[in-house]
């Protein structure tokens, strides 16, 4: 079955590609790198998600127990997915992922509590879209809980448009421009 | 307790049927299975055959029926007319990412049912 979601007419981009670094709003030096499949990177993400505040969970992810976190990461860190991780020194503090869904990709982004509201989410999502576009991704969709205004605003600012407002969760889509 | 299990196309039918059958046997409940679309009639009939098979395995004498039209609204209607105590639905659909998603059937039943609703995860 092909993707029936409406996508914006105008492609968005170009977005920046990893690796990049920037100073966040709290003066911390943050590095954004594409996930390369190293076991240290994976362990860094397990560490980040075991610290994740359950109140920031969305639609059941990230899972709570370490064993479930690991099997969930196996799914979203698979070769056909695209992942960008935000590092503060040795610690993973943010993660954004594109998981294939037929011809499109589903997007999700997570930032550790004490690193939120510091512009990391904005930089991370733009860099993931830049990375995805360079890997051939064009259609990207996501769902977000309607009361999560901060997230909805982030997605809108990035170029996502609402494609389905009739379900429990809001669905949004973006069409990525081909990189020059 | 009178239990109405709603089974749609998106459901993980085998697991939902087995878990409900186990629970029905353990609790001595009175079970009715309502099967509906969206989806082709052939796949609805396939689901029905599967439901009868599972119920037979558990030696359960439950009624199985195909409902036409919107599954969510039909379930709510059936539950009211038939004096059911509970509606059971598969609530564990997940997106490629692993996010739990609420189907339009589940949403309608949650908002409109006057009985308790159980979502199987």
Give residue-wise pLDDT tens across range A87-129: 999 999 999 999 999 999 999 999 999 999 999 999 999 999 9
Q: What CA–CA distance (Å, rounded) separates B77 from B109?
A: 10
Q: Quote the pLDDT of residue A122.
A: 97
The C-alpha angle with vertex A59 and arms to A28 and A61, in degrees rounded to 5, equals 50
Q: Quote the pLDDT of residue A3.
A: 82
Q: Which residues of chain B have a CB within 8 Å of the CB of A97?
A: 97
In three-state secondary structure terms, B68 is coil
Q: What CA–CA distance (Å, rounded) separates A23 from A30?
A: 6
The separation between CA B54 and the C-alpha centre of its own chain, rounded to angstroms, equals 13
Q: How confident is the model at residue B10 (pLDDT cuts 50, 70, 90)?
A: low
Model pTM score: 0.86
Q: What CA–CA distance (Å, rounded) separates B83 from B96?
A: 38
In three-state secondary structure terms, A53 is coil
Cross-chain Cβ contact B98/A101 below 8 Å: no
Which pLDDT tens digit goes with each residue over A25-78?
A: 999 999 999 999 999 999 999 999 999 998 888 888 999 999 999 999 999 999
- Which of A59, A95, A128 has the most B C-beta neighbours within 10 Å, making it the best mutation to test the interface with B? A59
For the record, the structure tokens of A168 come out as 């429990």
The separation between CA A32 and the C-alpha centre of its own chain, rounded to angstroms, equals 12
Is the distance from CB of A65 to CB of A155 less than 8 angstroms? no
Q: Quote the pLDDT of residue A8.
A: 96
Q: Is the pLDDT of residue B82 over 90?
A: yes
Q: Where are the beta strands (DSSP E) in A51-130?
A: 82-88, 91-101, 104-111
Q: Which residues of chain B have a CB within 8 Å of the CB of A108?
A: 97, 99
Q: Which residues contact A4 (CB under 8 A, 6 or more apart)?
A: none
Q: Is the pLDDT of residue B93 over 90?
A: no
Quick count: other Cβ atoms within 10 Å of Cβ A51?
13
Q: Is the pLDDT of residue B121 over 90?
A: no
Q: Which residues contact A122 (CB under 8 A, 6 or more apart)?
A: A154, A157, A158
The separation between CA A28 and the C-alpha centre of its own chain, rounded to angstroms, equals 20
Q: What CA–CA distance (Å, rounded) separates B103 from B91?
A: 8
HSE-up of B96 (CA within 13 Å, CB side)? Answer: 20
Mean pLDDT for the stretch of residues A151-162 = 96
Cross-chain Cβ contact A106/B95 below 8 Å: yes
Q: Quote the pLDDT of residue A177.
A: 96
- Which of B43, B96, B97 has the most A C-beta neighbours within 10 Å, making it the best mutation to test the interface with A? B97
Cross-chain Cβ contact B96/A60 below 8 Å: no
Mean pLDDT for the stretch of residues A129-137 = 97
Interface pTM (ipTM) of the complex? Answer: 0.84
Is the distance from CB of A103 to CB of A55 less than 8 angstroms? no
Mean pLDDT for the stretch of residues B32-52 = 87
Cross-chain Cβ contact B102/A76 below 8 Å: no
CB pairs under 8 A between A and B: 39
């Amino acid at each position: 079955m092909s993707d029936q979601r409406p996508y914006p007419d105008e492609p968005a981009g170009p977005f920046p590609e990893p690796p990049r670094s920037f100073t966040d709003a709290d003066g911390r030096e943050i590095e954004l790198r594409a996930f390369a499949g190293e076991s240290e990177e994976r362990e860094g993400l397990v560490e980040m998600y075991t610290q994740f505040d359950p109140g920031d969970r969305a639609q059941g992810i990230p899972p709570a127990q370490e064993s479930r976190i690991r099997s969930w990461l196996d799914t979203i860190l698979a070769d056909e997915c695209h992942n960008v991780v935000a590092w503060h020194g040795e610690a993973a503090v943010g993660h954004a992922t594109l998981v294939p869904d037929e011809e499109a990709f589903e997007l999700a982004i997570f930032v550790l509590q004490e690193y939120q509201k510091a512009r990391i989410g904005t930089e991370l999502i733009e860099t993931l879209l830049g990375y995805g576009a360079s890997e051939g991704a064009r259609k990207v969709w996501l769902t977000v809980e309607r009361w999560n205004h901060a997230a909805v605003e982030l997605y809108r600012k990035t170029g996502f448009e609402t494609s389905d407002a009739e379900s429990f969760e809001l669905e949004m889509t973006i069409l990525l421009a081909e990189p020059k | 307790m009178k239990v109405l299990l709603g089974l749609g196309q998106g459901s993980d039918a085998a697991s939902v049927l087995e878990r409900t059958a186990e629970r029905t046997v353990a609790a001595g409940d009175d079970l009715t299975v309502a099967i509906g679309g969206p989806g082709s009639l052939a796949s609805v009939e396939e689901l029905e055959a599967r439901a009868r098979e599972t119920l037979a395995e558990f030696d359960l004498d439950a009624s199985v029926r195909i409902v036409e039209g919107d599954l969510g609204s039909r379930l709510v209607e059936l539950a009211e007319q038939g004096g059911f105590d509970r509606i059971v639905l598969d609530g564990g659909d997940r997106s490629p990412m692993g996010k739990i998603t609420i189907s339009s059937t589940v949403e309608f039943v949650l908002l409109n049912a006057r009985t308790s609703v159980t979502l199987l995860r």
